[in-house]
Amino acid sequence: MKILGSVYFAIVLIALTLLFVIAGTFLESWSGSHTYAAYFTYQSPVFQLLLGLYFVNILLATLNRLPFKLRHIPFVITHIGLLLLLAGVFCKSYFGVQGAMGIAEGSGSSQIFLPNTYALLIEDREKRQLVPLKKEMHLEGLSITLLDWNPHAETRFEGFIKGDLGHILGLPPFEIDGPPINTTHYAIRATKKSPESISFPGEAALFFIRDEEQKQHLVAYDKMGEMFTHTFDDQAFLIFDKGFGGYGVFAELPTHFPPIELIAPLSLASKPLKPHRKKEDLLPRVRILISDETRSDVLTLTYDKFATGFKWPALNGKYLLRFQSLEKTLPIHVRLRQARQINYPGTLQPYSFESDLLVDGEETTISMNHVHEKNGYRFYLANLVTPPGAAKRAQIVVNYDPVKYILTYPGAIILAVGMVLLYLRKRYV
């Protein structure tokens, strides 16, 4: 009791805290990642134990002065403030909420996504389930096994060209740079060349091209020698049966070309990469085996932090799956009415970002320096995504501290009062 509440033990704790602060500063500078540094320092079990020992030291240091005398009052008040602050830190860690939501203009949500968490969304035509990612996951009539995990991967969509083969619905797969496939009006082929390098073939033809940047293009020649070039939009897809039937990409030819329907199934291609130190930019990939009573499928899924991407079909379209963050439902609904970027006068350099929200029907505007609070939940504007030709999307950080008015703020006030009293009174023995 005496040792744990002594000033010498407090000095040891302060020295250890200083080492954590130094290590965290160097790790964040070296990696460029706050998440990386926090994982090994402030969020580590050792640091949590250190905070617990601070609580024990302060509590015992106070109790060691029993019975209290009048001259102990400033000391006791100061230590009570410290204890309330530490208790507030522990309560916020275990009972508070820290997450983010991504909302497009005109839409709303009550869901936030918890950072650095991994889960599988499994959805059929009647219900959806969100299951924390584990080696083995068992649901009613369904079994899922984690076959492989990669901490970082490069992904891309593949449409008409997948690997070294061309794919068009209604035709057998054909080789890239292989002999053309003849249809009623056209010879169709795929190539790795750039659109500019295609020479005039002297006859009507379609070329599907995947360039060095992995973008896919269509180059079409009609019998009159007229050329048409189309670059496929990564955001333009066909959705079959609400996703249960899969997805596809399509090509539309000008009206003076013969009417040919060009559709290819959409798939996701990925390859593992060496993970870098900036954890915020890592894109994990999983390969899973999903089975029911009659069949099995192997799926490769990449991490979708804000659950805005596709849910991929499995078991012949019986289920849809997505690899994403864990969700939490708030007792508050947030709708994004409008988001905008404000530039410095006469320039295109952004000065600020703003978002007009409806929070449970209450109108408010949040910006990079203006926070909105509702029922203890604080909403911060973290980022604004402005894709060309699409609705703007705001990323909003949500923070909830259930004890800040009970422990944290009162603790800070009591600590300040105690420190003033310590400064004003004569030194006690």
Per-residue pLDDT, 202: 64
**Omega prior to 259 cis, within 30 of 0:** no
Neighbours of 347 (CB within 10 A): 8
Q: Round to whole Å and give the CA distance between 310 and 300.
A: 13
HEC per residue, 43-93: CCHHHHHHHHHHHHHHHHHHHCCCCCCHHHHHHHHHHHHHHHHHHHHHHHH
Per-residue pLDDT, 185: 62
Range picked from 81-85, 270-274, 349-353 for highest mean pLDDT: 81-85
Give the model's confidence band at 36: pLDDT under 50 very low, under 70 low, under 90 confident, else very high.
Answer: confident
pLDDT tens per residue across span 206-216: 888 888 777 88
Indicate if the pLDDT at residue 265 is higher than 60: yes
Indicate if the pLDDT at residue 427 is higher than 60: no
Backbone angles phi, psi at 13, to 5 degrees: -65, -40
The mean-pLDDT minimum among 73-77, 113-117, 191-195, 331-335 falls in 191-195
Query: Is 105:306 a contact under the CB 8 Å cutoff?
Result: no
pLDDT tens per residue across span 400-413: 999 999 999 999 99
Q: What percent of the chain has pLDDT over 70?
A: 95
Give the model's confidence band at 389: pLDDT under 50 very low, under 70 low, under 90 confident, else very high.
Answer: low
Q: What percent of the chain has pLDDT over 90?
A: 47
Q: Could you give the domains of the chain?
A: 7-96+404-424 (no CATH), 98-112+328-400 (2.60.98), 118-152+273-324 (no CATH), 156-268 (no CATH)
Give the model's confidence band at 429: pLDDT under 50 very low, under 70 low, under 90 confident, else very high.
Answer: very low
Indicate if the pLDDT at residue 141 is higher than 70: yes
Give the global pTM. 0.81
Chain-wide mean pLDDT for the chain? 87
For range 321-337, the mean pLDDT: 94
Indicate if the pLDDT at residue 428 is higher than 60: no
Per-residue pLDDT, 156: 86
Per-residue pLDDT, 216: 84
